[in-house]
Structure 1
Amino acid sequence: MSLSSTTTDDTQVISVQCDRIDAAMAIQFKEDMRTETGTGARRVVLDLSAVEFIDSSGLGAIVASMKQLGDGRRLDLAGLHPVVEKVFRLTRMDTVFRLFASLDDALAAGSN
């Protein structure tokens, strides 16, 4: 699992650099997210544009990452492939996360 991160103002962008978040990757993903989000930016945007597949373990890892941010911080998701977006919509996680078609759309929306 490879994540890269940049921070501007109060938004941290974390890009996932692999094509799957599944049972084999979920634990490492959660650990990497915990390390990356330790800086305390109010808003974290997870760029999933490279991710082509996610299973329930991957979904659970993203939810766990959101919960570990704590109060006053938010995790938004950007660049979801149609198959990945479908998982979020079928599980109603699209009511928990703000989903953006692209990273640019997420950044344009700001922290509102």
Structure 2
Amino acid sequence: MELSTTRHGDMAIATVIATRIDAAAAIAFKDAVRAAVADGPDHVVLDLRQVTFVDSSGLGAIVAAMKGMGAGRRLDLAGLTPDVAKVFRLTRMDKVFVIHDDPDRLIARATG
């Protein structure tokens, strides 16, 4: 699983470079997120624009990544495709995560 991480002020954007977060990719995803945010800012946004499929293992991996952030840190999501957004709505995880429509707007806001 590949992530591309960029820092914008006091926020980092971690872009998932994959179309699926499923059982086959869940462990690699958790490890990649942990490595990407280890020394980063307290606010991390996971850019999921390229992800078109998330299963229950993938959803669990995203939740584990959020819990792994630790106290005082926050993991938001952005750019959910319609199918991925549906999974978050059906599981009510859209109430757990802050979900932004467009990561580019967040970057513009963070950089002034």
TM-score of the aligned structures, taking structure 1 as reference length: 0.92
* Distance in 1 between residues matched to 2:60 and 2:109, nearest whole Å: 25
* Distance in 1 between residues matched to 2:64 and 2:100, nearest whole Å: 20
* Distance in 2 between residues matched to 1:92 and 1:109, nearest whole Å: 27
- Tell me whether 1:30 sits opposite 2:27 in the alignment: no
Q: Deviations over 1:5-43 (max 9, x none)?
A: 011221010000010000000000001111111014110
Aligned length: 110
| 1:19 equivalent in structure 2 | 19
| 2:97 equivalent in structure 1 | 97
* 1:3-82 correspondence runs (5 A): 3-82=3-82
Equivalent position amino acid for 1:63 in 2:
V
Shift of 1:109: 6.3
* Distance in 2 between residues matched to 1:108 and 1:73, nearest whole Å: 21
Percent sequence identity over aligned pairs:
55
Residue 71 of structure 1 aligns to a residue in which SS? Answer: coil
Q: Is the 8 A contact 1:78 1:106 kept in 2?
A: no
Equivalent position amino acid for 1:51 in 2:
V
| Structure 1 segments unaligned to the other structure (5+ residues) | none
| Structure 2 segments unaligned to the other structure (5+ residues) | none
| 2:85 equivalent in structure 1 | 85
TM-score of the aligned structures, taking structure 2 as reference length: 0.92
Residue 38 of structure 2 aligns to a residue in which SS? Answer: helix
Aligned CA distance change for structure 1 residues 67 and 80 (closer, same or farther; 3 Å)? same
* Distance in 2 between residues matched to 1:106 and 1:8, nearest whole Å: 9
